[in-house]
Every structure is written in C-alpha cells, then in structure tokens.
Structure 1
C-alpha cells in the first residue's frame, strides 16, 4: 500500500481506470469497488472469527459486515468472498439462500449464516451441484477431514450470473 492509502495492485491502465475504491474496514473485512458495464461491481472479502470465538465476537463481526453492506450501492453487482469458518452442510430442506449440495453436517453458525443470507437477500453460490472434491475448502493436517468453510455469496438477483462456483484441488 502506498503512503497515501492507495493500493498498488493495478498493473495496466485499463485495470487502473476500473478501480473505483478500496476500503479496509478491519482485519476481518475489506471491500473493493470496480467500474463495470452495465453495473459497477462491489467485492467484499471476509475472514470470520473461529468457531471457538465468543458469540459476542461473531455479533460484532456481523454488525460490522452489515454496516459495510449498507454502504454498497443497491445497483452494484455484489460478490462476497470469504472464510466464514462455518458449515452450512448438505441438506434436503428447501432454502432460498443455501443449495442442497453443501458438504458435511451443518453447525449452529451455519444456521446463522443462512438466516443472515435470507434476511439480506443473499445466496451461497457454492452450495449448488458440484462434485464433492470441488466443494471442500479446508483439510485437516492429516488430510482425514475435509470441510467446506469458505463461501461465495451474491445478491439473489445475480444468481443467474453464477456459472460454476467451485474450488480447485491443491490450491492454497
């Protein structure tokens, strides 16, 4: 980052012209806004507290995240990427926010993420049909346990813009 707060990640003039803003909210949330046609694109990257963190830490995280969401122009295409440290799991329950092809068993924070998505008209893009090896995003040190804890969220209106949201095996 330069001294004036601008980001040195633009490598071409076209990329530099599309860059509209960058906002590091905290060590857990950052947002980026790009010029797009016909709509601008807002990207939010999140890194949620661990599942062992107190509920208060999660409430503070979601509060900050809601503040950021409230500042995103409603016409922007919104993409939210991140490590949510939660499992929404595989389910047969029909949900407006989560597909039935998640990986593993849902935990309490998975319920919270689904409720948050429903309340904010978001969908979890990587819980729709994929081969299981394209779903896991975390592997235990011994490699015996694999979980899906990273998710791509988009506004429901952009659901048809998602072609395939999947992980690449071996990617760090």
Structure 2
C-alpha cells in the first residue's frame, strides 16, 4: 500500500527476519530476500510488476548482501551490523561490486551505524548531511571516494524532516544513518533523495526508522 501511495517501484528492506533465501510473487509484487536461518536480520528487495519483469539476474550473496541486475543495471541492499561485521560487509562488497560493470548504474542501499558530517566532504558527501562524523562515517566516505560514489541523500537541500532517518526513542536526537549511494557520474540522473517520516513503516520495520526514497533515471 505504501509503495503505491508513495510511487515506489523498487524498495529495499532490512531486518526482514526470514530464514534462508527465496524469490517469489505476492499480489503483483516480486519479493527477493536473503536471511539468517535463525530468523534475525536479513535483507530484501521488493519490486513492482513492471520492474520485476526486468530482473535479469539475482545474487543472494549472504544474509547481509543481495544484488539484482535490471536489464544490465544493479541494485544492492545492505543491512546494519556491529562495527566488525560492517568491516566484513565492506570486504564482501568488493566482490559484489566487482560483478558490476563500470558503465552500469550502480546503486547501493543500506543502513550502517554511520554518521557523515554536516557539510561537504570531498566529492563523496554533499553539503546537506547531518551530525558529526564518526569512525564508521570515515569508512563510508573512504568507501565512496575510492569507488567514485556519492551519498545521494546529502546532495539536495531538504526540510530537516527530510534528512534524518533514525531518531532516538523519545525523539531526543535525530540521525542520518540510512543511505543510498550512486556513482558520481550518475548523480545528475538523481532528481530527489530524501527521507519520509510520514510513511507507514511501523508494521514490519522498526518504528524509529524512516523510509528513504530516491527518484532517478536509469537509462
């Protein structure tokens, strides 16, 4: 319902808490997921019918990373984990990204316990970030810099409500910790990237987290 209401064609979801990996259809939507056998964490990509039919291949790499190729285009979904696990995820991403051709429009979605600086950080972070950079933020910026990627939800000026993706219980502090990364040469194709506190994500997703939506051309 929220995908229809907000005009979302491809949705990345984390913390799905499903065992194993699967690829199935439900009410006109295609659900591809990869999770732990213990039913903790896990990641998923949900596609509307017209986009689901464009899936050329799917790589359910692990319970933390899965990749789909849409007619030569790639999307990836990462989940959040401890600092040690995040380092492992970055190492695994090296292998996954190696499967994406240099001319493909690579999009990485995920949430890391990462805070990038408020203000521009080289070519990897725009001037509309949030918060004080932490060590995990340094790792993300380094990752983006080395691969010529940019944090899409920092390149557009937004109302403060459109920047933060997580708030501490009691709404004491708000953070930007959920990101969509795109290749720098493709950032001009992105027309919008912001969070939506009003989206109804409380049924199956942590109620303190906001949905992040990006509008982009894929040609």
- Shorter chain as denominator, the TM-score bin is 0.7 to 0.9
Deviations 1:125-172 (CA, angstroms, capped at 9, x unpaired): 111222221011111121111110001100111010011100112332
Higher strand share: 2
Partner of 2:70: 34
Higher helix share: 1
1:78 aligns with 2:106: yes
1:143 aligns with 2:175: no
Partner of 2:13: none
Compare 66-75 and 14-23 and name the one that shifted more.
14-23
Partner of 1:25: 61
Q: Which runs of 4+ in 1 moved over 2 A?
A: 4-8, 14-17
Compare 128-137 and 145-154 and name the one that shifted more.
128-137
Deviations 1:24-60 (CA, angstroms, capped at 9, x unpaired): 111111111112xxxx32101111323xx33xx3321
Larger RCO, structure (CA 8 Å, separation 6 or more) = 1
Q: How does 1:81-96 map to 2 (within 5 A)?
A: 81-91=109-119, 93-96=120-123
Partner of 2:141: 114
List gaps (5 residues or longer) in structure 1.
none
Partner of 2:79: 47
Aligned residues: 160
Work out whether residues 86 and 112 of structure 2, in 8 Å CA contact, stay in contact via their aligned partners in 1: no
Partner of 1:99: 126
List gaps (5 residues or longer) in structure 2.
1-17, 31-46, 202-219
Give the Cα separation in 2 of the matches to 1:7 and 1:21: 14
Give the Cα separation in 2 of the matches to 1:5 and 1:147: 32
